A and B are shown apart, each in its own frame.
Chain A
Amino acid sequence: MTGYIISRLFRAVVTMLLTVSMVFLFIRFSGDPAAALVPPDAPQEVIDQYAEAMGLDKPLWQQYSGYVGGLLQGNFGFSIHTGIAVEEVFLDRLPHTLQLGITALFLAIAIGIPIGAFAAVQRGSVLDRFLMGVSVLAFAMPNFLFGLILILVAALSFKTFLGGENAHVIWPALTLGLASMGSFARFTRSSVLETINAPYVRAAEARGIPFHIRLSHHVVPNAAIPMVTLIGLSLGSLVAGSVVTEQVFAWPGVGQLLVRSVATRDLAQVQFIVLVVAFTMVMANLVVDMLYLVIDPRIRVK
């Protein structure tokens, strides 16, 4: 068990370090970082001054260690347009994105999982086919299209605008959570189907244990194991989806900041957001791995 924990921790650290190195290399070799930071008509002396201040004249490994050291000390750089520290701009917007993401995840779990479980119990019925059909629709629906339709319908029939900071979070959250909802429903269905036919459940049936007890004591705990991975993985699609959804609803979160920073080539800001996303995902994977220790006793034995 300790070996399991150590190997997962090691993998997380290596992954994060590799990501940081890739980001460093790409930024370093994508062009002249000093020239990118000054106005286009700046004289060569100014560029050189910047280059010296950034340490670009030093050997590569020194630049790299300086870069990693800077990150560890919390020097993430400054937005080239406003001069404000990138983490401050980011933290300003983070609450909006968290609110959106958590609501979306909650909706996806609260709607998707019961639908999937229900469809599995009613397997082969018209209702099962209908629910699975809907979840395929949800999966294939581009979130920007769904968001725009919501906005259009609300504007035409209720004369309200769903976008902006003061709008209710439920509409962008529904848009963001839709795809996860579909995949949760499908995955829950197959996971429950797999366990519902497992030998230990049939044995329980032979012992005369009633259906609802079999479901709550035998099917649910076992079907839940792969669900933890799925929810952990869905974090990535939520992060990706929030970029588009925030843009559609003019939601002032990190996704909107990222798109704007890319469009204005604010490299320091983009780089910081990329690193934060990577860090969050690595942490989420680590948490999922650790949760397995709790919910899947087989790992503890190994």
Chain B
Amino acid sequence: MTDPTVFPQSDVNTIPLNVKLALVFIALFVLFAIFGHLLTPHGFRETSLFARLKPPGTESYPLGTDARGRDLLARLVTGAQITLVVAIVGTVIGAVLGSLLGILAAASRGKTEAIIVAAVDVQASLPIIIVALFMLAMFDNSFVLFLLLVGLNGWEVYARLMRGATLQAKEFGYVIAVRALGASPMRIYLRHILPNILNIALVQFTVNLPLTVLLETALSFLGLGVQPPLTSLGQIMSEGRDRLMTAWWLTLLPGAIIFCLALSVSMIGDWLRDQLDPTLRNE
């Protein structure tokens, strides 16, 4: 492969085992989130005073129940849905916002660039969880606000990366040639620069996705993220935390899913990065 900008067409046989397993897990997780409710007759908010804190394996509650007698399986399915939606929408928000700002900074130079770079510096000096907590202290928590806050996760990294890549791409010979031919700036950026720097954003996307999952679950675990009656994997853990000693399944099962999800995405991200980085591929 000589052209580093072409997405590598890997043979299935060259994909390492851990990446295959990660892909299988993610496929299973998505299927679980979409079709999981078929596995249980119970709704995720349905309480039963007669079936409180049942351990996994109880009849009609294969994964047990929580302190209000709600089916853990049904709650995990809903939690998986919310975690998945927040992770993907949140990561997309950060990626699009950050990339656009980065490209805009490189394209405009001057004042706009100075403002964007300063904003990146400010964001880089505040961990996103601190920003999120600050906002949640001021505004009423709503799902939309939470989604936006999670979406801010890592935007500054995209902005920094895309600005650097755009500045570099602007000086490529073919870009100068196309410009000399009289192409409009819009055409130059959309057709000639963007496709060449998109893989950088793509790799960053897979680096950011597990971090977004961990941010959402951490905030929900603190009781400051997804609020009841909705639930997420972190929120289920938060509710089960006080019963760690007597009802371990309420924390360890959602925790294990979060861990496997973050791990799978990380491994795929590492592999993608190695594939796209021509200096590593030659090793």
Contact = CB atoms under 8 A, between A and B. Distances in A.
A and B found bound together: yes
Contacts of A30: 138-139
A94 to B, nearest CB: 16
Contacts of B241: 148
Interface in A145-187: 145, 148-149, 151-152, 155-156
A34 to B, nearest CB: 14
A44 to B, nearest CB: 22
B232 to A, nearest CB: 13
A12 B222 CA distance: 32
B221 A144 contact: yes
B144 to A, nearest CB: 16
Contacts of A281: 124-127
B266 interface: yes
A140 B258 CA distance: 9
A19 B237 contact: no
Contacts of B245: 152, 155-156
A35 B129 CA distance: 27
Interface string A21-52: 01100110011000000000000000000000
Interface stretch (B5-13, B72-80, B95-103, B248-256): B248-256
B237 A144 contact: yes
Interface residues of B, number: 44
Nearest to B126: A278
Contacts of A136: 263, 266-267, 270
Nearest to B125: A281
Interface of B: 18, 118-119, 121-122, 124-131, 133-139, 210, 214, 217-218, 221-224, 237, 241, 244-245, 248, 251-252, 255-256, 258-259, 262-263, 266-267, 270
Interface of A: 11, 14-16, 18-19, 22-23, 26-27, 30-31, 133, 136-137, 139-145, 148-149, 151-152, 155-156, 236-237, 239-240, 243-244, 247, 258-259, 261-263, 265-267, 270-271, 273-274, 277-278, 281-282, 285
5 contacts: A27-B138, A136-B263, A140-B266, A145-B256, A148-B255
